[in-house]
Amino acid sequence: MGYKITAEFVSEHNEQYLPVLKREYEGLAEKLINQGISIAEITSKARQFQVAVPTWGVGTGGTRFARFPNPGEPRNIFEKLDDCSVINQLVRSTGKVSPHFPWDKVSDPGELKQHANSLGLGFDTVNSNTFQDQANQEHSYKYGSLSHTSEATRDQAVAHNIECIELGQKLDAAGITVWVGDGSNFPGQQHFQHSLERYLDSMKKIYAALPDDWQMLIEHKMFEPAFYSTVIQDWGTNVLCAMELGEKARSLVDLGHHAPNVNIEMIVARLIQFKKLAGFHFNDSKYGDDDLDSASIHPYQQFLIFNELVDAEYRKQDGFSPTYMLDQSHNVTDPIESLMNSAIEVQRSYVQALLVDREALYAYQESNDALMASNTLKAAFNTDVSSILAMARADNGGAISPIEAFRDSHYRSEAAKARPASGQSGSGIV
């Protein structure tokens, strides 16, 4: 068991920020009441907001050129959970962790579940991995996995996914996310239709092994590692496969997995309409699948996505229950700091979207008042909701200033002492 940040430390740390926070919160309360919005209601919703953290996110990321590890990196799933618990302790919106197999595979899943629960954590969807070969693996995934031309390779990939479901059940997870790196690097290399047919055959076998209350989340990605074509390249192919597979299969939206300038919020609206939105991998990007910190580049885009989500919530859209998760690669920052910051930024977009005057917006849409419709969204986006987010954290027992609290706790330097570098890491870029 690693170094702990105590509850007393957090509450003492909060004291220095509390007087200013209270003033800012009261000022915002007055501003919002004039718009007919109760800050208590918004704060209560902010307190309930959750976004899961991926286990691979707490290790330092990298690129295909290099990785520059930080001191005190977690060396196994138990240490990763320790780091995840620090994130949740300070921000209180990341109570679930998404494991990745075989990176996080242990001989006793029961012990793993117990360790997580003792830290106040639970498990989100599990992730399978057929995009790289493991030691002693019989059939290589060099030319694909679930869509491979060889039946034996496909069977091996199917068996791995079914094993992930079984492991996930022991962890009390309720879904499996399937992303494949299958694709091609040359025109003509792969038969488009046949490869998708093989993929679907494999996915049907995995789907058949899904427990009744489980969900299958299909993740698409336009390029990388395949650079000419991928088998599940966009949301269109994704949703077609989800429809073919059945009700429990839905589409996952990773913000970095689209063509540049694609209108992601509109994709989200379409998936909501047809009850096929499984959830999100939040991150941000400038060029491609950059896996940068959420809202570090395009905060308005993230807000517009949440505008669609909150709209569905407001309309009580049938079948709407997406799961939220961060999926980022932290190459130059402390991953714990980045994940805390990003969880707050995702929550910020949610809270800003709650402030949208929906009835006014609908009226502007009906009367074709384009400018005022846009201004209605901008008014919510331009509202500084920082004091709501900080108050929600404090009310939940978290830190008013999580980054400062984390730095003042010396958790990282203590972790560096307790965790000498092992030379291996379970951090990946997916």
Minimum Å gap between C-beta 286 and Mn ion is 17
Count of helix runs (H) and strand runs (E) in the chain: 16, 11
Minimum Å gap between C-beta 410 and Mn ion is 32
Minimum Å gap between C-beta 325 and Mn ion is 8
Spatial contact of 267 and 220, defined as CB atoms under 8 Å apart: no
Nearer of residues 281 and 412 to Mn ion, judged by Cβ: 281
Residue 327 binds Mn ion, judged by CB under 5 A: yes
Nearer of residues 326 and 390 to Mn ion, judged by Cβ: 326
Comparing CA positions, the residue from 66, 68, 96 lying closest to residue 81 is 96
Minimum Å gap between C-beta 105 and Mn ion is 20
Nearer of residues 281 and 330 to Mn ion, judged by Cβ: 281
Amino acid found at 326: L
Minimum Å gap between C-beta 50 and Mn ion is 18
Minimum Å gap between C-beta 177 and Mn ion is 8
Q: What is the crossing angle of helices 7-15 and 402-409, to 10°? A: 120
Number of other residues whose CB lies within 10 A of the CB of residue 319: 13
Minimum Å gap between C-beta 281 and Mn ion is 4
Length of the chain: 430
Which part of the chain contacts Mn ion (CB under 5 A), choosing from 135-143, 152-160, 319-327, 354-362? Answer: 319-327
Q: Which residue has the tokens 């239709």?
A: 193
Nearer of residues 57 and 109 to Mn ion, judged by Cβ: 57
417 vs 72: CA distance, rounded Å: 7
Report the relative pairing of strands 175-178 and 183-184 from DSSP bridges: unpaired
- Residues numbered 271-290 forming contacts with Mn ion, rule: CB under 5 A: 281
Amino acid found at 217: L
Residue 148 binds Mn ion, judged by CB under 5 A: no
Site string for Mn ion, 155-184 (x = CB under 5 A): ------------------------------
Q: Backbone phi, then psi, for 216, in 5-degree steps?
A: -110, 120
- Residues numbered 231-270 forming contacts with Mn ion, rule: CB under 5 A: 254
Nearer of residues 82 and 345 to Mn ion, judged by Cβ: 345
Amino acid found at 139: H
303 vs 377: CA distance, rounded Å: 9
Between the CA of residue 12 and those of 17, 41, 343, 402, what are the distances in Å? 10, 27, 23, 13
Comparing CA positions, the residue from 360, 393, 390, 387 lying closest to residue 375 is 360
Which part of the chain contacts Mn ion (CB under 5 A), choosing from 26-34, 86-94, 325-333, 379-387? Answer: 325-333
> Is residue 225 reached through a cis peptide bond, with omega within 30 degrees of 0 on the bond before it?
yes
- Residues numbered 114-143 forming contacts with Mn ion, rule: CB under 5 A: none
Nearer of residues 254 and 293 to Mn ion, judged by Cβ: 254
Nearer of residues 284 and 327 to Mn ion, judged by Cβ: 327
Minimum Å gap between C-beta 254 and Mn ion is 4
Structure tokens at 245: 């597979």
Minimum Å gap between C-beta 243 and Mn ion is 21
Judged by CB under 5 A, the number of residues near Mn ion is 3
> Is residue 102 reached through a cis peptide bond, with omega within 30 degrees of 0 on the bond before it?
yes
Nearer of residues 290 and 327 to Mn ion, judged by Cβ: 327
Comparing CA positions, the residue from 257, 305, 251 lying closest to residue 278 is 251
Spatial contact of 170 and 113, defined as CB atoms under 8 Å apart: yes
Nearer of residues 88 and 285 to Mn ion, judged by Cβ: 285
Where does this chain bind Mn ion (CB under 5 A)? 254, 281, 327
